[in-house]
Structure 1
Amino acid sequence: MNQISLLADWQDAGGPAGRVLVRHGQSRTWLRCLLGAGGLGLFLSLGCVGAQAFDGTKTPADDPSPMQAFRNGTKAYKAGDLAGASQALEFAASKGHALAQWKLARMYSEGDGVPRDDKKAFDYYQAIVDAHGEDSPDTAQARFVSSAIVALGSYYVSGIPNEVKPNPRHATELFQYAATYFGDSDAQYNLGRIYLDGNTVQKRDAITAGRWLRLAADKGHRQAQAVLGHLLLSGSDMPRQGARGLMYLTLARDGANGERDQWIIDLYDDAFAKATSDEREMCLTYLAQFLKDHS
């Protein structure tokens, strides 16, 4: 099931009864510090004052329902009417409908049915985080909130020309928040790469990188599986575990998707060709246990 279908099905089911805020430790205060005054100002500028919960509280009778507009937008999108979809989603998003904001952010970031506009995507992601970044990680919508946080982090890694300056420190903080509070595997993978590669604010630390990569890999994140498998096989940054490394690369190869994952296929082919017969045999044992533990 694709993401837009999942969104529509979740909305048709009614979603959670309402927005839930939690105060685990200092997560509420820390996120507010991450967002800063600029985040709230952006939220207001997008017309999201009093943003409604993910279940789409209805507006007065003389105003179209944002939830209905969202449903119309998802229906139009699935029917291939991208212009109609964007128009309906824009209305719902302007009323603070967070799932509409998330879908529009994806559309603008990919140029899917609308002209590509990374700043608009950034603004919609920011609005979601402003309104829902403190929501419970156990709610049905948590995956979309954490996705928005990771997307913001990715924008801060490289910046947006003439719009958003690169900010590696802030990017790392956002990934850290999504990785720990929401347990987001994309955030964990990004943290792993930051520690593995090093940057201007974080020195290289392959051992810490391996820990973050394993958290993501054990959740089925194929890129993390590939990078971790390569690290374990090479033994250059951590103790070599050839069979286990081949296991992770096998999992990654099984999930590889087309040309964009050709690098994973190449890593696997090279590793398999160099592996000993004992490593290949032990890999099968590890693989069977992994699939049993994560079924």
Structure 2
Amino acid sequence: MRTSSRFVLVLLAGALFSAGCPATAFALDPDAIVDPNASSLELFSHGFQAYKRGEKDVAFKSLKYAAQKGHRGALWKLARMYADGDGVPEDDFEAFQIFEQIVREPDNSSADNAYVANAVTALADYLRRGIPGHVNVDLPRARQFYFHAASYFGNPKAQFELGRMMLEGEGGRTNPKQAARWLKLAASKGHVGSQALFGYLLFDGKTISITPEPVRGLAMLTMALKRATPADKEWIRNLQEQAFAVSSEVTRRTAQSYAEQQLASAGAIAKSN
């Protein structure tokens, strides 16, 4: 991790920690069926394999021991389990504290950068929506965290969320052109939401003060809709249908053909890998 990046991480995490978020400490479980004296890597591997088998209680114990030994991957997975209620009772504040620990105690290993980037992005998500009774909504700080993950780590989700905040003026001034740059960057990495929103901006043109590109924009919206998860499908469908409704028949056909070619090409590449 670059020195400048680590310095900013310390500042970001320090702001959270000084605001009264206590550090998370995992209690050892004497009934665990894993060896707490194993290395952090062995414990993480054991926990990961148990998780894949659906043995989430065993996975949780192994990951907890690995996390106590400082394994960033174990910390991140525990946080995600708490955030999603995956094998443990859902607890956003517990997840928040673990993500904060990952950011507050980064090391110099580039292998851990992805975990740190995802943790910074997750903290931004929580700051954006808050955790009742624990974390107040703080849009400027959320935007700051997204910017850090987007710029230092190139995290596509952070780039997408930062773009959305800039479009809507959340946590700072509105900046549609800069928003489009972040969305374009995330879209180039395959982020579906960014493909949809950037495609809509291209189709419209006016929001970012460019000549509209209806074929390219509608094609991106169509591709995004086909690749969207259930959680994103509704809002992406709404944008795609809006664009489709005002498009000419030629634009519709050309965009559909282009989208099908791109999806087929992506599928062929995926199979070859």
TM-score by length of 1: 0.76
Q: What SS does the aligned partner of 1:207 have?
A: helix
- In structure 1, the gaps of 5 or more residues are 1-20, 49-60
Shift of 1:43: 10
Show the counterpart of 2:30: none
| Partner Cα separation in structure 2 for residue 98 and residue 228 of structure 1 | 33
| Partner Cα separation in structure 2 for residue 106 and residue 73 of structure 1 | 14
* 1:182 maps onto 2:160 in alignment: no
| Partner Cα separation in structure 2 for residue 195 and residue 37 of structure 1 | 23
| Alpha-carbon RMSD | 3.1
Write the mapping of 1:1-295 to structure 2, written as runs, cut at 5 A.
Answer: 21-23=1-3, 26-36=4-14, 39=17, 45-46=23-24, 63-132=37-106, 135-136=109-110, 139=111, 141-199=112-170, 201-238=171-208, 239=210, 240-258=212-230, 260-280=232-252, 282-283=254-255, 284=257
Deviations 1:117-167 (A, max 9, x none): 01110111111112227654xx4x432221111001111111111111222
Contact 2:215 2:252 in 1 (8 A): yes
Closer/same/farther in 2, CA of residues 194 and 37 from structure 1, 3 Å limit: closer
Contact 2:223 2:263 in 1 (8 A): no
| Partner Cα separation in structure 2 for residue 180 and residue 64 of structure 1 | 37
Shift of 1:65: 2.4
Show the counterpart of 2:31: none
Deviations 1:23-50 (A, max 9, x none): 3xx33332222222654999994459xx
Contact 2:223 2:259 in 1 (8 A): no
| Partner Cα separation in structure 1 for residue 137 and residue 107 of structure 2 | 21
Show the counterpart of 1:18: none
Deviations 1:223-250 (A, max 9, x none): 1111122222233413322112112112
| Partner Cα separation in structure 1 for residue 174 and residue 67 of structure 2 | 40
1:83 aligned partner, one-letter code: D
Closer/same/farther in 2, CA of residues 72 and 135 from structure 1, 3 Å limit: closer
Closer/same/farther in 2, CA of residues 135 and 281 from structure 1, 3 Å limit: farther
Contact 1:253 1:268 in 2 (8 A): yes
Closer/same/farther in 2, CA of residues 253 and 188 from structure 1, 3 Å limit: same
Shift of 1:256: 1.4
| Partner Cα separation in structure 2 for residue 29 and residue 109 of structure 1 | 27
Sequence identity percentage: 36
2:11 aligned partner, one-letter code: C
TM-score by length of 2: 0.82
| Partner Cα separation in structure 1 for residue 132 and residue 230 of structure 2 | 30
- In structure 2, the gaps of 5 or more residues are 27-34
The aligned length equals 257
Closer/same/farther in 2, CA of residues 245 and 264 from structure 1, 3 Å limit: same
